[in-house]
Amino acid sequence: MLGSDGTGDEEPLFRPYAVTGGRSEPRYHMAMETLVSSSFIMEEELALLTPEQDAIIRLCRSFRSVAEISALLRVPLGVARVLVADMADEGLVRLHQPRLDQGQPDLNMLERVLSGLRRL
């Protein structure tokens, strides 16, 4: 499908800022390396999700960073942060924040992010 600029790039799944009500920042800080995983959702409940929520739920069946979600959905990072934060508030996804306050990065988390980036 041709994008609006006439190239072969597909347009994003949704209009980014329309789905966030114009918000470009979540209500709380979320690092771009924050990992996101889907919460268990009954099949009947999937029908109640917005298309954006459904796409994020499906992407996050395996751990994904907020940066990966942004890239895969082709939306600005701020939009991905807002959508993920709203979904976390609704219990649709779980956030796995990096523990940077201990002075040492979590090596397990870094390995998962690296693995996810390699899959891109």
Q: Which residue in this structure is represented by tokens 């940066």?
A: 67
pLDDT in tens, 40-84: 887 778 788 888 899 999 999 999 999 999 999 988 888 899 999
* DSSP-H helix ranges across the chain: 43-46, 51-59, 66-73, 77-89, 107-119
Contact in structure between 60 and 69 (CB atoms under 8 Å): yes
Rounded to two decimals, the pTM is 0.68
Q: pLDDT tens digits for 73-112?
A: 988 888 899 999 999 999 999 999 876 656 666 677 778 7
Neighbouring residues of 108: CB distance < 8 A, sequence distance ≥ 6 = none
